[in-house]
Structure 1
């Protein structure tokens, strides 16, 4: 998973995982709240230069994907998101990975719902500059079972964020992405945008003790690194979020931490060294109703439940 060393080691201890992430290190990025988190944010790899980050400023929502609405966490990336039916006066939501929680990795089979939180997030504008610190009041949902996602509720609304900073939330698509879709992975932690395509889907993606379903596989151009965990995966044509970035196979290992493997319907295992993955998010809109309230019993809500 894509995360920094100290946080990842502590989280593995918390979750009781038997595997230990590879040791790696990296300097704190400019303007970051702290150092990155994967089961790869152990910062796993070479840190891009300022020139790299600037050259990565490609693409826009409805034209070119940029950083507006992305957030930096103490150990990961994330984004301010809205459901297709969210209203301007609804409490705003932040999407990141389940393995990016401040309390450590959820255990296999564990689903966390409606927990107190005071987590802070650095809100970025379109050019990647931090313009505000946002604060959560609840962890609405988090799991690393079937998917790797966490959704926080902020103590402010979309309308207030728009009024104060001119920034709109990213909309979660309710439609499953297709192979070949042009996408951008927007890292608020590194202030870097990776652009590639959906190469295909992994029926099951297994990493250490965790297994995820129907994971998005990127083409090789999205060579994400530690600290990119939780980045929104944005459809280049619609500007909507279709997945949340979470891991990659670093060393060619087979189904170990930081080396996920693909498992097909017949149990056949495929290892793709250097290839990175995300978890689809189209299941979440059906689980949120009026006032952005989570309703796991709602019709069509198919995310894992406690």
Structure 2
């Protein structure tokens, strides 16, 4: 799970899982820990990690869009983005998407679903260049789980219109349909101000990591070598500019189904381990579960998210 080491240990302490300090502890490149708050650094390098072949193909496509940081957010321990559904209105309370394992209260237990839980968490809103232009604040956790998927949606105290008026920044739109294998994508980390470009390599029937199991996960091609702090990053379809998934984990050491080493399990129960490959959770199911005024309705037609 792509959370920085220091933040992961803090979350474990808060959630009372002190007996397993290695859970989701994620060293970054070179073995060093990430800084506590990258937004305080004045000389941030906007590092774009790419594949030369994929970039050439991307530049040759007239439909490809330049993906930037506008609408993404930095959390104290993860990345995220301000998102809207296709039918969201400007006067709706804005939503922030991140991972379930990025909650300030710690990791949800297997089978646990959190709905309408009060929260005053803050998020650093970024502009297109990756500069922090505002602090947004949550009013509640609208939905969060690590069962079947690894996602959390916060409701903010401001509307989309208020954010647009004050900062000129639009929310990212969640795609309401399942993406396809081969789709060119960008994983946009607000924590690190870094964009990873690659493609969807395929989909995983079941992705198992420690005690958690996720369904129909996205597998990246190897160019998206995400690191600690990229948890919760939006995965953007570069052809449409819409969010199709939320980045959450990768196999670091080649271990089988352990924390920080997820394994793939197919319909027949065959286990495959892909060292160095990273994954995300699809987000199209959320589109059917948020209705008028961005209110969560888990009983809505087509809503398949796990229920409490």
Q: TM-score, normalised by structure 2?
A: 0.89
Structure 1 unaligned spans of 5+ = 35-48
Q: Which residue of 2 aligns with 1:230?
A: 232
Is residue 32 from structure 1 mapped to residue 34 from structure 2 by the alignment? no
Distance 1:130 1:62, change over 3 A: farther
Q: Which residue of 2 aligns with 1:206?
A: 208
- Note if contact 1:15-1:106 (Cα within 8 Å) is conserved in structure 2: no
Q: Which residue of 2 aligns with 1:283?
A: 285
Per-residue Cα deviation, 1:1-60 (whole angstroms, up to 9, x for no partner): 0002233234345264857245734241774379xxxxxxxxxxxxxx95561677x999
Q: Which residue of 2 aligns with 1:40?
A: none
CA–CA distance in 2 between the matches of 1:251 and 1:206? 15
Q: Secondary structure at the match of 2:47?
A: helix
Per-residue Cα deviation, 1:88-144 (whole angstroms, up to 9, x for no partner): 000000000000000000000000000000000000000100000000001000000
Aligned Cα RMSD in Å? Answer: 2.2
Q: Which residue of 2 aligns with 1:45?
A: none
CA–CA distance in 1 between the matches of 2:237 and 2:205? 21
Q: Secondary structure at the match of 2:218?
A: strand
- Note if contact 2:185-2:199 (Cα within 8 Å) is conserved in structure 1: yes
CA–CA distance in 2 between the matches of 1:98 and 1:193? 21
- Note if contact 1:29-1:189 (Cα within 8 Å) is conserved in structure 2: no
Q: Secondary structure at the match of 1:162?
A: helix
Moved more, 276-285 or 2-11: 2-11
Q: Secondary structure at the match of 1:6?
A: helix
- Note if contact 2:26-2:228 (Cα within 8 Å) is conserved in structure 1: no
Q: TM-score, normalised by structure 1?
A: 0.90
Is residue 185 from structure 1 mapped to residue 187 from structure 2 by the alignment? yes
Q: Which residue of 2 aligns with 1:6?
A: 6
Per-residue Cα deviation, 1:156-213 (whole angstroms, up to 9, x for no partner): 0000100111100000001100000000000000000000000001100000000000
CA–CA distance in 2 between the matches of 1:135 and 1:271? 39
CA–CA distance in 2 between the matches of 1:30 and 1:96? 17
Q: Secondary structure at the match of 2:70?
A: coil
CA–CA distance in 2 between the matches of 1:277 and 1:23? 15
Q: Which residue of 1 aligns with 2:114?
A: 112
Number of aligned pairs? Answer: 291
